[in-house]
Structure 1
Amino acid sequence: MSEFGATTTTDEVLEDKDLSGKTVFITGGSSGLGQETARAMAAKGAHVIIAARNPKQMEEAVAAIKSDVPDAELDTLTCDLASLESIKEAGKQANDRFEKIDILINNAGVMACPKMETADGFEMQFGTNHLGHFALTKHLMPLVEAGGDKRIVNLSSRGHHFAPTDLDDPNFEKSEYTPWISYGRSKTANVLFTRGLEDRFADKGIHAYAVHPGGIQTNLGRHLTQEDMAFLRKRMEEQAKKAGKTSSFKSILEGAATQVWAATAAELEGKGGVYCEDCNVAEVDDTSTTGGVRSYALDKGEADRLWALSQEMTGETFD
């Protein structure tokens, strides 16, 4: 158990850290949790690369961070995770421009959107939240190997409780599309990808961590209807009550703390392939609705099947 918990903030996690000389790459770093993670790590001396699909938003994020951290060392890289072509170009640019990535934080995502497709015809949530990060991580792996910390943090969610992956029907071609089931499948895929990375790269000193940030009101919920918000709020209030808490939502500073902790905690050194929440490693739990990671999200067989399917769908193969 770490000394931190649900209300810990990013600055508290990093209070005694010096990240000078570290290079941190953050997808979705132009808003919400990603921007806060970028700010907090830049404030401790890290060189932070913000990757997002909207250049204007990235410029605004850089300006906001520099207003708080004037000497922040920041770079931006345009990358649309819903396009394999954009991902490939971003990977090429990253390898041309940067020497290493010590910490890769796959933070970007989409939640409970209507049925949509990526540029390559994948169901939007699985395609963006998992396949996009799978392909991008492949292209960035040489830089991660050149880094010192060699940590990969994948943003998952307690939403993985909604559903295991369905690798026989990843694009909802055989079953009726449901936004929350799709979201749950994609968040389970994030944990399975973490397991897959750990199994394949731990012997190179590369370790992967899945993270549930908690319930935070950010633009991740931009697709949510009033009914969706009512469902989510009721579920979170019920979870908070069961856990004996008075508040169901975290602040952005509290929400980003777990990914910052997973990226820097000394106690996680050499111990990847785990799912973290509230700045601690979560227990495997197949019944609780207030915490824990489902066993199906860490299943090696399912992780291997997902890896093979992801390579087939994206056309990208890790060396």
Structure 2
Amino acid sequence: MVRSASRGWVRSAVKLTNKNVLITGANAGLGYETALDFAERDARVIIACRDESKAAAAKEQIQKATGSQKIFTRRLDLSSFSSIRQFSEDFNRTEDRLDILINNAGIMKHPQAKTEDGFEMHFGVNHLGPFLLTNLLLDIMKTNKGGRIVNVSSIVNYLGRIKWSDLNWEKRRYSPMGAYNASKLMNVLFTRELANRIRGLGITTNSIHPGVVNTTLNRTGGQDLSIMGRLTDFIFNQNFLTISPKQGAQCQIYAAIAPELQNVSGKYFSGCRKLPVGFWNATSSKSAARLWKISEELTGLKS
């Protein structure tokens, strides 16, 4: 089978006519470029983000660029379980299908803070939020075979360490970069366990590293004075070391539309190529199952 991408760029002209797509955080950056691409492929695109005015502006820009009248917005705050539950309830009531879910929204190096439900911000927004959202939308995805879930992780998952006894960073000195790295490892572990649980349902899931992208993700730079924190600040401030949002979006687009990935699940991609998922901590089935169980308990999700 011919590969749908080469040199990190999606070359496939696959259309997404009659496909319903949901992208979190699609008002800017990677999410916006992914929404723009899917609109050009004739998909029905739903932009989900916290700021409704920014979502509306993104919708207008995409409509002007593509001529598509199938762009919609919905409010979703991943730092609030009540917002996620309300969003999912409304979505399941008003939509008849979901073919592609891109868990794109996320934060990095956020100052120490907690979500509405009392969880460390990276843990809550980057993992628990997408975990709950995905599970609440699984039933509607089951109605049509071929559904795909793409979780945006990062290469720093290799550096991630999960301290099971202190997931909220209450017993140790807070590290913005450490919290981010751990949440990106959780994305990979979540994907691994989710792939096991949805096997045979006609749905696949994969995680991706988009590259070091010139977006607003590092807008809270300067919060982490560790070596890793300073290094990421330096890298994000050097245009020649980063790639554009359009290029960064290619991997999640590839994971969502490539025909050759129809039956591929639980894997990790970067540059539109499958890579080793990471070190032992990212390949541990025991850790993936443990994280799932804890996440179920913390979100109030029933098995």
- For this structure pair, what is the TM-score category when the shorter chain's length is used for normalisation? over 0.9
SS in structure 1 of the partner of residue 42 of structure 2 = coil
**C-alpha deviation, 1:227, in angstroms:** 6.8
Cα distance in 2 for partners of 1:134, 1:6 equals 31
Aligned counterpart in structure 1 of residue 244 of structure 2, from 240, 246, 251: 251
Quote the offset at 1:248 in angstroms.
2.2
Q: Secondary structure at the match of 1:25?
A: strand
SS in 1 for 2:157: helix
The answer to whether 1:267 aligns with 2:260 is yes
Matching residue within 37, 45, 48 for 1:48: 45
User: In the aligned structure 2, how far is the partner of 1:197 from the partner of 1:103?
Assistant: 15
CA contact 1:196–1:300 (8 Å) conserved in 2: yes
> Which amino acid in the other structure matches residue 5 of structure 2?
F
* CA pair 255-57 structure 1, distance change in 2 beyond 3 A: same
Instruction: Identify the match of residue 307 of structure 1 among 288, 292, 297.
Output: 292
1:15 Cα deviation from its structure 2 partner: 3.8
Q: Given the superposition, is the C-alpha separation of residues 309 and 39 from structure 1 closer, same or farther in structure 2, using an over 3 Å criterion?
A: same
Q: CA deviation at 1:296?
A: 1.4
Contact 1:45 1:72 in 2 (8 A): no
Q: C-alpha separation between the residues in 1 aligned to 2:223 and 2:202?
A: 45
Q: TM-score, structure 2 length as denominator?
A: 0.93
| Cα RMSD after superposing both structures | 2.1
Match of residue 232 from structure 1 = 232
String of CA shifts for 1:214-252, please: whole Å, max 9, x gaps. Answer: 001212222112876752155689xx9xxxxx9421111
Task: For 1:234 and 1:302, locate their aligned partners in 2 and report how far apart those are by CA, in whole Å.
Answer: 32
Kindly indicate whether the alpha-carbon contact (under 8 Å) linking 2:76 and 2:87 is maintained by their aligned counterparts in 1. Answer: yes
2: CA distance, partners of 1:313 / 1:152 = 22
Distance, in Å, in 2 between the alignment partners of 1:272 and 1:282 is 13
Matched, 1:125 2:110: no
Which residue pairs with 1:317 in the alignment? 302
Q: Which amino acid aligns with 2:45?
A: V
2:201 corresponds, among 200, 204, 208, to 204
What is the alpha-carbon distance in structure 2 between the residues aligned to residue 6 and residue 219 of structure 1?
Answer: 25
TM-score (norm 1): 0.88
Partner of 1:66: 63
Give the superposition deviation at 1:108: 0.3
Of residues 143-152 and 207-216 in structure 1, the stretch that sits farther from structure 2 once superposed is 143-152
Quote the Cα distance in structure 2 between the aligned partners of 1:25 and 1:33. 14
Partner AA of 1:105 in structure 2: I
Q: Identity of aligned pairs, percent?
A: 36
Alignment of 1:24-173 (within 5 A): 24-173=21-170
- AA in 2 matched with 1:102: D
- Check whether the contact 1:103–1:151 (CA below 8 A) recurs between aligned residues: yes
1:189 pairs with one of 175, 186, 190: 186
Q: Which amino acid aligns with 1:54?
A: D
Shift of 1:7: 4.4
What secondary structure, in the 3-state scheme, does the structure 2 residue paired with 1:202 have? Answer: coil
2:218 touches 2:236 (CA, 8 Å); kept in 1? no
